[in-house]
Structure 1
Amino acid sequence: MVRGVVRWGAAVLGVVVLLGVAGWAGYTYALPHHRPALAAGERLGVDVSAHQGDIDWAAVAGDGIDAAYVKASEGATFADDRFAANWAGARAAGLEVGAYHFFTLCKDGDEQAANLLARLREVGADASTLPPVVDLELSGNCAARPSRAVVQERLTTFVSTVEQATGQQVRLYLLGSFEERYPLPDALADRDRWVRRLLLRPGDDGWAWWQVSSRAAVEGIEGPVDLDVVAAG
């Protein structure tokens, strides 16, 4: 009886160890190297910031990446210190490039728009580059939570100011927690969306970019990076 219990316990332990090894292998190798099946006309992209450090953009392009969004600014005054280098490097490697701005709840929309537009002027962005993106997340935002009316006014001002200056329609990277707290004003409901759905293809085809992974392995980038799918067209 004791021997049977010992054998059973050893078998269970063996299964647990195997499952642990399989899970570790999946998390450390399979998930980072996952590339989704692409529909006709779709391409792969990445989005990066100073957190990725010095990037070898030629190697990124050689790994099948065709487009990139790079962080330009945040709030009213913050400028990503790798923005100009990332922009120039990605363009030199032949990627389509665009800029994104992390929207801060606690700053006025016109101040934030001025910050992004200053960064775009520095790199000579024009209508041939990808449309600007505003990143709407609660995580990493300021501690205060202004009213819906205040945030909607600030966001509408930001978008309209950037669109008037660039001649391009701003895209929205909008997480569900943000939209639940701060629903989009009607005036912005028709903007292109950059959706986040890890691993699984979004059920709605009405997206311009799809973030498929936040831990992808891409040649030329040290450490994990966001991997995206660019919609056809």
Structure 2
Amino acid sequence: MTSNSTTIDPLSFFTFDDAVNYFNGLQCKSNKDCPLESDCIGNKCITKFYCDDDKCSFYNGICDGKPCDSLECKVDSDCLGGKCYNSSCEGVTVYHSGTFSLEDFHNYMTTNSPKISTCKNNANDCTELLNCKEKDNDICALVGYQNLRNGMPYVDFFGNCLRNENCLSNVCNKRKCEGLVNALVSKDSYGYIDGEKCETDKDCYYGKCLLAKCRNEGQLSDNKWFVVSIISLIVAAVLLVYILFKQCCGKSKKQDSY
């Protein structure tokens, strides 16, 4: 592991700029090279941290005036953000310490259970949803982390922005982040979800790029049979009308002959 002169005590508070300098100066080969043995993805330490304005910590709770991994709070002073609601700490911005490529995240999942994952308790059958910059699979983050501050993705459920650099996609339009694509990653595969733009089958999680969009092969099969069924019904209806018409015409001709 290599690092610059900035260091962070995992059990102390630090500023956001300290976090940026610290993580930008880190390179890792394994999780042991990262603070709190967090995820080493593509030689970058990826971990969650919390900030209340410029006061940051690896933990959202406070015990005896220091950051702590407390799952429940009783009063507002138990929380970094100064807000305890229904025994949970709120009022902070949640960051990840960097972005990663779609391929690197997949490679990591084949041998590890990511600590930042949303499906920790079902790691062997985990399918993670990511946001990636359009046409750039080297810049991805977990879904929801669509905003960016000095290279650190963070959660803003409304995707608010002022400038392009506020967005993972680098596209801020009418104060909203745009230009992201959704991708799925599991131990067996990775790629864009159904409906996203694609160029080849390799771009898609389910391995099918049709008319420049990713499609689920199972759904394509279902759609095919649906279309066949509709066509069959139309043909049957036409034949029925034809038969009825012939019968009517036949009766009419017999009556005319009398």
Fold equivalence (TM over 0.5): no
TM-score, structure 1 normalization: 0.25
TM-score, structure 2 normalization: 0.24
Tell me which of the two structures has the higher relative contact order, counting C-alpha pairs closer than 8 angstroms and 6 or more residues apart. Answer: 1
More helix by share: 1
